[in-house]
Structure 1
Amino acid sequence: MNSVKIPRQRAIIDRRKTAEAINALVAEKGDAARNEIVSLLKDVLRNGRAEIAKRLAENPSAGHECVAAQALLIDQMLRLVHDHVIEHVYPAGNRSSAERIAILAVGGYGRAEMAPHSDVDIAFITPMKRAAWCEQVIEAMLYFLWDLGLKVGQSSRTVDETIRMAKEDLTIRTALLESRFIWGDRALYAETGRRFWAEVAKGSERQFLTQKLEERDARHKRMGDSRYVVEPNIKEGKGGLRDLQTLYWIGKYVHRVRSAAELVDVGLLTKAEYSSFRRAEGFLLAVRSHMHMITGRAEDRLTFDLQREVAARMNFADRPGKSAVERFMQFYFIQARRVGSLTGVFLAHLDDEFAKKRARKGFFAGWNQKARTLKGYRVFGGRIAAPSDDWFKKYPVRLIEVFQLAEANSLEIHPDTMRQADRDSTLIKANIREDKCANALFVELLAGRNDPETVLRWMNEAGVFGRFVPDFGKVNAQMQFDMYHHYTVDEHTIRAIGLLSRIEKGELSADHPRSTRLIHRVNSRRAIYVAVLLHDIAKGRGGDHSVLGAEVAEELCPRFGLSENETELVAWLVRYHLLMSATAFKRDLTDPKTIENFVGEVQSLERLRNLMILTAVDIRAVGPGTWNSWKGQLLGDLYDAAQERLRLGHMKHGRQQRIAAKQEAVVALLGDKAHLKEDVGSLLDDSYWIAEHEDMITSNLIQYEIARKNEEQLSIHCEFDATRGATLVSVIAADHPGLFFRIAGGIALAGANIIDARIHTTRTGYAVDNFLVQDPHGQPFAEGRQLERLKRSIRDALANRVDLVPKLAARPLPITRSSAFRIAPRVTFDNNASGRFTVIEVNARDRPALLNRLARALFESKLVIQSAHVTAYGERAADTFYVTDLLGAKITADDRLKEISDRLLHAASDARQKQLEEA
């Protein structure tokens, strides 16, 4: 886009010296010199690339210089090949007017922006229907380029064909728009350019803008539609290089600018914004160049493994509470956000330009709709605008007010006013942060009734949010280096606020029926909105973000104007915002001690209501697919049990009453098979009746009776369970040691993940084991083929028809990139979480059949597993087991606990995985 001075160009490639070497080879060997010429050019290309790589290593942020040097290298290679072909391979004495060729660089190469492994996009232009000589030259050149190992994207057209196709095809029009003359017939290039502007571009500016924006929106949608995804595509993603290029294309097409710098001259960007443009572009180009050099290919997705390497190459270092890779990615997201705000301002200006043109030409020429005023602001065409350039300087509280008014009145903020807010955000000092009016306006915006999410995002992109709430500024653009969180902390938080608003409006009642009811029963709307804002505010500080966040809440809430009770509630919610999900997903909810411990922390119905809502929006805002009906059911079960305990001060029914009530419900569900409650149900002890839901018990009793009738030693039942969003697998078999880990292995071999498991034994020695399983993407197995595969795989595993260990080790993980993360496995024991069992929790990097390996380690430790609860957080797995020793007692002896811990750590370790793979 802009010419970049490249020092010591001949150190990259010396065209004159290389041309002389080619001529000498031709003089010596004639036509037989081709292989030596290719070899010579390969050396020149390799040396040039090595020099560019060396310069980037010395100055790792020099993105513009690197891509310009790469383009220079390819320019000179093309010139050398062209001259050799027309002088030595197909020399023409007196060429006719048809025997002319112009070579144009197009695409990124046309802008002189070439990453090390980018395609070489070129266009050969000829004056008319191609003469034989032109075809021979083009073909010979292409063969040379291919032999050099270059990936060439090429077209060969006459001037007429080029113009005709540019009119019809947006891609060709864009390529031609940024074409650059490389070599050959300059007059032909000039004629193509003149005709392009006169015949293609003129009068089609609005159409080009519309098509380019549609193209951009479709691209964003494909790439996740957020500039804050944690593995961004730096070329095609939102806030990436393509967005900057789109600005340049539109500016060039509409205003005929020759470089991005000229966007300032035509008033589309200010000088400061253009400097921002160049900084963001330079950084992104440098990152892309490093990625190409690391991978040795055209790689544009900044994956977790690449993030570490690029951060190291660009000299980012660890800081307390924040690793080098997190600091690098935070800087990346700041640039991506800058690209977003530049795009908004730029496009709004163009929109205004076109609107003025339409007004001058149309029916309403000379007529202007009168702007209304709102608290001193101008409101026109659905936008709110500051009335003067010094509006915010006079009274900086207006920097908060303008966003609050926009949200309350469903208005957009005029781009000029956004620009002013960005520029004047530095006026927000301590006195403005402590201003009662400013804080009241902020809380009103945060808990707005229309669309607080969108307006808070504008506020964030203008830099006002982070200055008014400096603690939020610290998590601005901060990524969480894991595969669970899809967004940066600030984007996750703003999305969570948007979800809370949608729940309050009833828009998510299908997925969140309980939260939709509860939000209208909380004592303070603003307290729950503030709690959502602050729940992750202390991430990246090097300690427990829940504890540190509660301290932040205690300072900020009084500033926001919250009462003492509201402050206490918000601080508690921030401190314990992970409690409900950890209890629901990692603990046995049928164990009374689980509910007792949870209620002991929660202590009031008001806290419980707020915590339920906060938990739901926090999980859902993590990213697409993170919330599912199984999580919803677990949280709902925990809420209902805790609410009953809090309302009554105890569990409504004692153990025997609960069993009797459940048996009554099962009898009703069994209908004409009610006799099974006695015939089969009497074989199962009280713990079974407490642990399982009525529908599961009904299914188990019917399955047991059928198996007994058919004299089956093994019965496997699989069915899709829509309520739980999972597949139920019930296995009835003669109980024996190791049954659980074999079933777990069979399920893993079928490509399924166990998310919950309960293990029971009848008085007659039969195991009744219930599993809930999903596929690696959190979806149930629902098709007949899938269910059949599950059954067959479990049957084979139990009959020893497959050698489980090597088969499971060879199974690829659904998340292959998890190896980019270093997670030391951790084992914890809790003898207070349950009245009857020792609770063991294992945290480790997810890997093939981890549950099977852990269950085998527990079997080898002579433990009996009562239930297993499996939770995955991206690359990290948390597996919880309720166990006893062979006599049914808890494990308390230190040496015994250490022995079990060592076995589990070995089973979960990377070293163990390598051993299995090698075996």
Structure 2
Amino acid sequence: MTSSPISTDALQDAIGEERKRLNEGSLALRQAYEAHPLTSGVLKGRARLVDGVIQRLWNACGMPPEAALVAVGGYGRGELYPCSDVDILILLADQPDGSLQSRLSTLVGALWDVGLEIGHSVRTVEECLDASASDITVQTNLLEARLLTGNAGLFDDFARHYREMLDVRTFFKAKQLEQEQRYTRYNDTPYSLEPNCKESPGGLRDLQMLGWISRAAGLGRNWRELARRRLLTGEEASDLRSVERFLQHVRIRLHYLTGRSEDRLLFDHQEKLARIMGIEATAAKRASEVFMQRYYLTAKKVTQINTILLQNYGTEIFPDRGGPAITINARFQAVRELLDIRSEQIFERHPSALLECFLLLQRHSELKGMTARTLRAVWLNRNRINAAFRADPANRALFLQILQQKRGIVHEFRRMNQYGILSRYLPPWRKILCQMQHDLFHVYTVDQHILMVLRNVRRFTMSEHAHEYPLMTRLILGFERNWLLYVAALFHDIAKGRGGDHSKLGMEDAREFCEDHGLSTEDTELVVWLVEHHLTMSQYAQKEDTSDPEVIRRFADIVANERRLTALYLLTHADIRGTSPKVWNGWKGKLLEDLFFSTQRLLRGATPQQALGLDDRQEDARRLLRYHGLRSGVEEALWAQLDAVYFMRHSAEEIAWHTRLLYFRPEADDPVVKARVSDEEHGVQVMVFTRDQKDLFVRLTGFFGRMGFTILDAKVHTTRHGYALDSFILQDPGQAAPYRDIVSLIEHDLTERLRKPLAPERPSSGRLSRQVKHFPITPTVSIRPDDAGKHYILSLMAADRPGLLFDVAEVLANYGISLQTAKIATLGERVEDTFLMSGAGLSQDAQVVRIERDLLERLQV
């Protein structure tokens, strides 16, 4: 039997009527929510509103009574966010004929015309079961299927067969694996600066997954039912209701704010969301920072209970898994490869077991974690770690043992942080817990950044990562008591956000820890010194002229000995890599490595020139030239025009490359432009050799800027016979494919450009990133003489943008200033650039003030 469809005109009238109902109903829901923010009012109210619209259009399109219209996914659960997709299943008894296919198309089109974002499938019962068996996403969507209208018998038949074929154990394992994959996709952390409130760890998807498994296994349909079955405590059920409501409010507000299905907490939205949700700024934090800290603490709570509940689910679903408990000691046992307390009162009777449990996980590689009741007991008893606990020598010894184990250090410190142990044992840690860093440089909260640095230092010691960090591995394995570096990592940023110099404040925390834990004077001084100077090496490498022997000497005076140098190099490398995947590159690694070896040679008794490896560099360059078939002595004509500064600023490989290109034309009439792919820097290295000319550096930066390149490094050199020999390292932030195709383009176009005496062309200024718009960076400029008094150093900090280096070069050219070298440090959305320069006007204070003023004007965004 088939219902008769209404006419096209009548259908259009019905669509218009339903669109009006939907819009008016949606507006009423929003107004009611803004007057009295109840999540159920929006989520269930919108689902009911959409139910009515879809049901009436189903009838208007004359759908046959043999078919069934089914809500699936979140819509099937009876919840719809303001801008969420509406997922439906059209269930058929048999394959549709041509007439029915036409009606189905009409229905789906009508639903879209009304203004619904429809996700639909058309399947028979058999097709549903087949799709469910092969795709866990389909199986999950169908788990919450709800009949909207149509053939109830057909739907009941589907539901019965679906339940019969649902393998709860397979479903549980698949959802666990799916969560692990999702966590990996979102960097295994809820603490990124712009998390996804639905998909990131600790987001709504974690709660939904718990609900799906519970429903599939018949364990309960809400948190209260799970508590009645003792899978949750009453407090945990209450916590889950609270965090779920908070995340629902966040997502609802985000949809209303953006007018679309947006689940990312972008910088653009954080301040507005905080204001909408009634969160105000404090004396020390912006409203967005207060809001995000609350979000992170919520996500932390979700991941905690998610871990506990999944273990309890596993016990219910696999009651036969594992054998009898295996006694480890008087306090702990192993159950199903998990560490378990032997008594519910163990932490009350033996508070030191709060640290012992983490040590046991490190020492017993067969253990994969803690049982749910152990995790719950750790969390509930965390406040037993008080001043008396921290003063107990036995507990201090336990904490040091955790730091000194051969395995599991990072895993257990992360677990200690997750369950509140670390912030109780190290009181300063409480102040950085879930604290944002709105410097657009770090992409993690302070506590997560510190744990990332700890991970990086730890990886240096592991053979499986030796291919990634061969030098670091060699250095740390030869470093006596290398666990001291873990202590320095824990304290290097622990004073962030307190006001004042966090390095100085962190020194005091580190000293107190070391002295309390009985470290020797030598080890204490090393850790305290590392915390104080953890930024020093990166500042020297990226902002000073490390080809200057005096700079190396000053840095060597700070480190004083090779043990400190090695420790600082390892910590600096780990720190930079622990800020953001975008911050580290091969060029920064090379700067640090060069500074390390130069300082090491100086500390071992070399002269400043030997420390910089000038003689070795020239000899290595000669060997490379012989390797490429050039006869002895061909380099002399070119090298005679190059001074010591050139050889100090370039590596042997760069010197050999330049020489191979220029030895036969040291007085070339035409510009020589050569480019090559640099695998080390993941970019392009460019050499320019031409007669020196006015505004050359400005023209070059303008050219590279118009091509969309970021300049990572620039070495500007003028030969004795009046030629410019300039080197650049370039990256294209948007370049995904190999750079090889662009090398010839650079060589041809730049050569043609330099042949013509044209004025510099300004590159496009481009658009500011949205991060910079919401967290503006006030530019700073400083010009000071170097220690030798021969040159001047320009240091600037500003928001990164296309054309910035061109603007700087143009201002300096206008004042007749010559550049010697430029170090470009891009830290997320911020640049910290350093230029070594010379010019007659730089000795005059009034002229310097004018230059600084003009630079600041150009750097404003």
TM-score where L is the length of structure 1: 0.86
Give the superposition deviation at 1:882: 0.5
Partner of 2:503: 546
The 8 Å contact of residues 511 and 629 in structure 1, kept in 2 or not, is answered as no
| Alpha-carbon distance in structure 2 between the residues aligned to 1:874 and 1:778 | 17
Give the superposition deviation at 1:115: 1.8
2:75 is equivalent to residue 75 of structure 1 = no
**Counterpart residue identity of residue 833, structure 2:** D
Give the superposition deviation at 1:733: 0.7
**Counterpart residue identity of residue 77, structure 1:** V
2:857 is equivalent to residue 857 of structure 1 = no
Give the superposition deviation at 1:310: 2.0
Give the superposition deviation at 1:861: 2.1
| Alpha-carbon distance in structure 1 between the residues aligned to 2:670 and 2:831 | 34
Give the superposition deviation at 1:226: 2.8
Give the superposition deviation at 1:532: 0.4
- Structure 1 residues 694, 540: closer, same or farther in 2, change over 3 A? same
| Alpha-carbon distance in structure 2 between the residues aligned to 1:349 and 1:801 | 76
Instruction: Extract unaligned runs of 5+ from structure 2.
Output: 1-5
| Alpha-carbon distance in structure 2 between the residues aligned to 1:129 and 1:772 | 62
Partner of 2:31: 54
2:285 is equivalent to residue 328 of structure 1 = no
The correspondence for 1:283, drawn from 218, 236, 246, is 246
| Alpha-carbon distance in structure 2 between the residues aligned to 1:791 and 1:649 | 41
Partner of 2:3: none
**Counterpart residue identity of residue 294, structure 2:** F
Partner of 1:894: 845
SS of the aligned residue for 1:689 comes to helix
The 8 Å contact of residues 130 and 158 in structure 1, kept in 2 or not, is answered as no
2:710 is equivalent to residue 758 of structure 1 = no
The 8 Å contact of residues 746 and 790 in structure 1, kept in 2 or not, is answered as no
SS of the aligned residue for 2:778 comes to coil
| Alpha-carbon distance in structure 2 between the residues aligned to 1:849 and 1:773 | 14
The correspondence for 1:105, drawn from 63, 71, 96, is 71
List per-residue Cα deviations over 1:480-538 (Å, max 9, x = no partner): 22443232222222222222222123443334333323324445434321110111111
Partner of 1:16: none
Q: What does 1:240-389 align with in structure 2 at a 5 Å threshold?
A: 240-255=203-218, 257-357=220-320, 368-369=323-324, 371-389=326-344
| Alpha-carbon distance in structure 2 between the residues aligned to 1:652 and 1:659 | 6
| Alpha-carbon distance in structure 2 between the residues aligned to 1:298 and 1:576 | 46
SS of the aligned residue for 1:836 comes to coil
- Structure 1 residues 511, 146: closer, same or farther in 2, change over 3 A? closer
2:99 is equivalent to residue 120 of structure 1 = no
The 8 Å contact of residues 702 and 762 in structure 2, kept in 1 or not, is answered as no
SS of the aligned residue for 2:693 comes to coil
2:599 is equivalent to residue 633 of structure 1 = no
2:192 is equivalent to residue 229 of structure 1 = yes
| Alpha-carbon distance in structure 1 between the residues aligned to 2:532 and 2:129 | 65
The 8 Å contact of residues 268 and 771 in structure 2, kept in 1 or not, is answered as yes
2:646 is equivalent to residue 670 of structure 1 = no
**Counterpart residue identity of residue 419, structure 1:** R
| Alpha-carbon distance in structure 2 between the residues aligned to 1:31 and 1:669 | 81
The 8 Å contact of residues 322 and 542 in structure 1, kept in 2 or not, is answered as no
Worse-matched range after superposition: 896-905 or 169-178: 169-178
The 8 Å contact of residues 527 and 562 in structure 1, kept in 2 or not, is answered as no
Partner of 2:444: 487
SS of the aligned residue for 1:122 comes to strand
The 8 Å contact of residues 818 and 875 in structure 1, kept in 2 or not, is answered as yes
The 8 Å contact of residues 104 and 124 in structure 1, kept in 2 or not, is answered as yes
The 8 Å contact of residues 781 and 794 in structure 2, kept in 1 or not, is answered as yes
Give the superposition deviation at 1:793: 4.2
The 8 Å contact of residues 451 and 498 in structure 1, kept in 2 or not, is answered as no
Give the superposition deviation at 1:311: 2.4
The 8 Å contact of residues 396 and 428 in structure 1, kept in 2 or not, is answered as yes
Give the superposition deviation at 1:237: 2.3
**Counterpart residue identity of residue 192, structure 2:** V
Give the superposition deviation at 1:579: 0.9
List per-residue Cα deviations over 1:56-111 (Å, max 9, x = no partner): 44466x4454323322332233344446x2xxx749xxxxxx72454322112122
Partner of 1:145: 111
| Alpha-carbon distance in structure 2 between the residues aligned to 1:557 and 1:300 | 44
Q: What does 1:581-660 align with in structure 2 at a 5 Å threshold?
A: 581-624=538-581, 626-648=583-605, 651=608, 653=610
Give the superposition deviation at 1:637: 1.1
SS of the aligned residue for 1:842 comes to strand
Give the superposition deviation at 1:684: 2.2
2:796 is equivalent to residue 845 of structure 1 = no
| Alpha-carbon distance in structure 1 between the residues aligned to 2:735 and 2:796 | 21
The 8 Å contact of residues 797 and 804 in structure 1, kept in 2 or not, is answered as no
| Alpha-carbon distance in structure 2 between the residues aligned to 1:662 and 1:119 | 63
**Counterpart residue identity of residue 50, structure 1:** L
**Counterpart residue identity of residue 180, structure 2:** D
The correspondence for 2:745, drawn from 789, 794, 798, is 789
The 8 Å contact of residues 403 and 486 in structure 2, kept in 1 or not, is answered as yes
The 8 Å contact of residues 844 and 878 in structure 1, kept in 2 or not, is answered as yes
| Alpha-carbon distance in structure 2 between the residues aligned to 1:395 and 1:115 | 48
**Counterpart residue identity of residue 29, structure 2:** I
The 8 Å contact of residues 677 and 685 in structure 2, kept in 1 or not, is answered as yes
| Alpha-carbon distance in structure 2 between the residues aligned to 1:115 and 1:457 | 34
Identity %: 32
Partner of 2:453: 496
| Alpha-carbon distance in structure 2 between the residues aligned to 1:666 and 1:134 | 79
**Counterpart residue identity of residue 389, structure 1:** E
SS of the aligned residue for 2:328 comes to strand
Provide the aligned length of Structure 1 versus Structure 2.
851
| Alpha-carbon distance in structure 2 between the residues aligned to 1:898 and 1:431 | 57
- Structure 1 residues 553, 59: closer, same or farther in 2, change over 3 A? farther
Worse-matched range after superposition: 267-276 or 870-879: 267-276
* Cα RMSD (Å): 3.0
| Alpha-carbon distance in structure 1 between the residues aligned to 2:780 and 2:35 | 41
List per-residue Cα deviations over 1:520-560 (Å, max 9, x = no partner): 44454343211101111112223332222223223333233
Q: What does 1:433-448 align with in structure 2 at a 5 Å threshold?
A: 433-448=390-405
Give the superposition deviation at 1:390: 0.6
**Counterpart residue identity of residue 854, structure 2:** R
Give the superposition deviation at 1:130: 5.8
